[in-house]
A and B are shown apart, each in its own frame.
Chain A
Amino acid sequence: GEDVEQSLFLSVREGDSSVINCTYTDSSSTYLYWYKQEPGAGLQLLTYIFSNMDMKQDQRLTVLLNKKDKHLSLRIADTQTGDSAIYFCAESIGDYKLSFGAGTTVTVRA
């Protein structure tokens, strides 16, 4: 996880937008991912973006990629209580391995 960095906590009001930021180091990464982990559970792939794209939108999720700055963000529109979880940013490295950030704990308050 040392090559991928994320802020550890985010608190957001229900209905507002959440923005989770991530920086990575491997410029050769072909794909960048966002995973969601609910308490006591495994990881669920939320979305991913190919490295030659700047933006990808999927319903309430918007991924922005700044390849020059190696910066990735995930925006969740109209955040709901069910969005409370830990969100992991990951980059693909070498032979299909994934390098994960430490995870951002998102807490949605009423």
Chain B
Amino acid sequence: GAVVSQHPSWVICKSGTSVKIECRSLDFQATTMFWYRQFPKQSLMLMATSNEGSKATYEQGVEKDKFLINHASLTLSTLTVTSAHPEDSSFYICSARTSGTDTEAFFGQGTRLTVV
């Protein structure tokens, strides 16, 4: 299947700083990318959906000013956690899919964020 690469795989940052996570589709054009957050032993919670060239659509309860999403090209989306706090520590996973009806979504390997 297609490859979606997330970077970094893990990051530790100080409270109050910002962290950027990249999600790249390596061999296909991702018209839509999704960002998920996963708490330990829990399901993935969809944070936002982004379409290339337009603003992201955030799920209810997700602060758009805290979790900045940019999808400037068909192969790259970024999630920036601004002014991170320990409660933002989590596993963040992106997925990407091409246009079309119910095309497969390919997932990145995830980024473990720890805020100290």
Which residues of A approach B to under 8 Å, CB–CB? 1, 4, 30-31, 35, 40-45, 48, 88, 92, 95-103, 105
Cβ contacts A to B, 7 pairs, < 8 Å:
A40-B110, A40-B112, A42-B4, A42-B6, A43-B93, A92-B102, A98-B105
* Interface of chain A, main secondary structure: strand
Is B102 touching A96 in the complex (CB atoms < 8 A)? yes
Give the complex CA separation of A88 and B95 in angstroms.
15
Residue of A nearest to B103 (CB): A96
Given contacts A42-B6, A42-B93, contact A97 B110 (CB under 8 A): no
| Ranked 8 nearest A-B pairs via Cβ | A1-B43, A43-B107, A42-B109, A42-B107, A102-B43, A42-B110, A100-B43, A100-B44
Give the complex CA separation of A101 and B45 in angstroms.
10
Interface residues on chain B, number (Cβ under 8 Å): 26
Is B107 touching A88 in the complex (CB atoms < 8 A)? no
Task: Collect the chain B residues with CB atoms within 8 Å of residue A102's CB.
Answer: 42-43
Task: Collect the chain A residues with CB atoms within 8 Å of residue B45's CB.
Answer: 1
Residue of B nearest to A29 (CB): B102
Most buried by A among B6, B103, B109: B109
Q: Does B13 count as interface, using CB distance less than 8 angstroms?
A: no
Is B43 touching A41 in the complex (CB atoms < 8 A)? no
Q: Does B49 count as interface, using CB distance less than 8 angstroms?
A: yes
Residue of B nearest to A31 (CB): B102
Q: Does B97 count as interface, using CB distance less than 8 angstroms?
A: yes
| Distance to closest chain A CB from B36 (angstroms) | 8
Which of B34, B49, B104, B109 makes the CB contact (< 8 A) with A45?
B104
Given contacts A30-B102, A40-B112, contact A96 B32 (CB under 8 A): yes
Is A44 touching B102 in the complex (CB atoms < 8 A)? no
Task: Collect the chain A residues with CB atoms within 8 Å of residue B43's CB.
Answer: 1, 4, 88, 100-103
Is A45 touching B110 in the complex (CB atoms < 8 A)? no
